[in-house]
Structure 1
Amino acid sequence: MLGKIITIEGLDGAGKSTQIDLMIKKLESLGLKYKYIHFPMLNKGVYGGLIAKFLRGEFGELDDVHPTLVALLFAEDRKEHKSKLLQWLSEGYVVILDRYVNSNIAFQCAKVATQSEKDELKSWILDFEFNHNDLPKPDISFFLDVPLEIIEKSLQKERTGEDRAYLNGKEDIHESSFELQRNVYQEYNVLLDEQADFHRIDCFSDQKEWLSPEDIHNVIFSKINEMSSAD
């Protein structure tokens, strides 16, 4: 399990931070060294600052900026941290990433209308991030699947904390559009069908109740163990 990238994906408000906290505690209990990054690195570096401005709506409304340009900003934000990622992997760290390339694909492809546009944009993002920018590919990825009606309620609540500082009191234009979140969910489903190492993690029971964070964590870590055993 040394020198692996684990990515956690999900809609805004799906509980990624909770699962990452539990994963970190598990790795610590096993004596495994780890590193963690949340992408995008808002307000850090040239591209993180530009992304923060975009999400605050300073470049216009959601439809005012072409998704290819937005994808470029998010991709270049990751590239700024590429050398650090590669160093950690070479030193045997387990690298946990809150959002990665699949997030860029899901959010940007959700903004275009036709299937041909989606396919073209997805291909461009994959080529740009993994070939042109030569980012390391994740070893295993997880999508926290939460019903859309729960996501809608979560996003309607006031969200606070240091990770909201980039908004300067404004709304995040990605989070404020539930139509976008619905379309992003559909794009994640496509990626889940296409990628064998991308795993759906159901966060709700058949009775439409939240599974406990610990139960969700156990499912995630069992799949990580399966990956490690297969190496």
Structure 2
Amino acid sequence: MLQKNPCKGKLIVVEGIDGSGKSTQIDLIYKWLVERGKSVYFSEWNSSPVVKSTTRLGKKQKSFTPTTFSLIQATDFANRWENQFLPMLKAGVIVLADRYAFTGFARDVARGVDPSWVRNLYSFAYQPDLVLYFRVPLDDAIERITFGRAKLKYYEAGMDLGLSDNKVTSFRLFQSRILEEYEKMVDEFSFEVIDAVQPVFQQQKHIRRLVSGILRGWHGLPNPIQSAREYSRMGTKSTEESSHD
């Protein structure tokens, strides 16, 4: 198990197989929270500049083994954790993450890496205050991805595992393995399951209720821009009232 978040800030993450719609929903949540005057920081999987060139080269040369792929992704996460997640959480910011350590737990194990070894790699991370797991039937997810993509990437499709010579078939088999790992984590890490087949607005309504629940009675770092706007409006109102005196 991951240790409980001891910081003032709140950590909210979205997880799910490719095509589950999680990125759309976290973008909506981000905008909603900012509009409510919250300080929010967003981070997405595999976005650290420290390992970006190495990751790109390894993928291009198709040189990653399941273990080295796991290590490079964990390095990416560790760098973002140290320089983004942790400082923001300590400052009282709401951190939104499009994929978290659970992505490593699911994908790496699906590639045959030992579950305990992978979990130990991320043992420094905190258990999020809210984990939104977007559950979607495999066929629906595959249809969304293949319809919206001109071409599946080599590692994305799990071609390194030798599951099939056909990328779409390999992708389906790989995603089914990942889906199986996610389902195992629902109880282990207290995932809040979101029915990703429902219309976007219904999902968002449910998610906002869950987010509001963990923020009830909580006072984090205010959004400085929003606070400035509120101050400006108050100043304008005072001026208008004075002009009527």
TM range (shorter): 0.7 to 0.9
Supply the distance in 1 between the matched residues of 2:29 and 2:55 (Cα, whole angstroms).
27
Contact preservation (8 Å) 1:86, 1:136: no
What RMSD over aligned residues (CA atoms) do the two structures have, in Å? 2.4
Q: Which has the larger radius of gyration?
A: 2
Distance 1:229 1:122, change over 3 A: farther
Q: CA deviation at 1:194?
A: 1.5
The residue identity in structure 2 corresponding to 1:90 is: K
The residue identity in structure 2 corresponding to 1:72 is: L
Q: CA deviation at 1:86?
A: 1.3
Partner of 2:12: 6
Match of 1:39 among 45, 49, 56: 45
Distance 1:104 1:89, change over 3 A: same
Q: 4+ runs of 1 displaced by more than 4 Å?
A: none
Contact preservation (8 Å) 2:8, 2:90: no
Structure-1-length-normalised TM-score? 0.77
Q: Tell me the percent identity.
A: 25
Larger deviation, residues 182-191 vs 87-96: 87-96
Supply the distance in 2 between the matched residues of 1:67 and 1:194 (Cα, whole angstroms).
24
Contact preservation (8 Å) 1:13, 1:155: yes
Partner of 1:223: 210
Partner of 2:108: 108
Q: CA deviation at 1:2?
A: 5.7
Partner of 2:188: 194
Which blocks of at least 5 consecutive residues in structure 1 are unaligned? 113-117, 161-168, 205-210
SS state at 2:62 partner: coil
SS state at 1:45 partner: coil
Partner of 1:89: 89
Supply the distance in 2 between the matched residues of 1:140 and 1:111 (Cα, whole angstroms).
27
Supply the distance in 1 between the matched residues of 2:118 and 2:199 (Cα, whole angstroms).
35
Contact preservation (8 Å) 2:17, 2:178: yes
Q: CA deviation at 1:69?
A: 2.1
The residue identity in structure 2 corresponding to 1:103 is: T
Residues 1:123 and 2:122 aligned together: no
Q: CA deviation at 1:172?
A: 4.2
Task: Write out aligned runs for 1:130-141 (5 A).
Answer: 130=123, 134-141=124-131
Contact preservation (8 Å) 1:57, 1:173: no
The residue identity in structure 2 corresponding to 1:227 is: I
The residue identity in structure 1 corresponding to 2:155 is: I
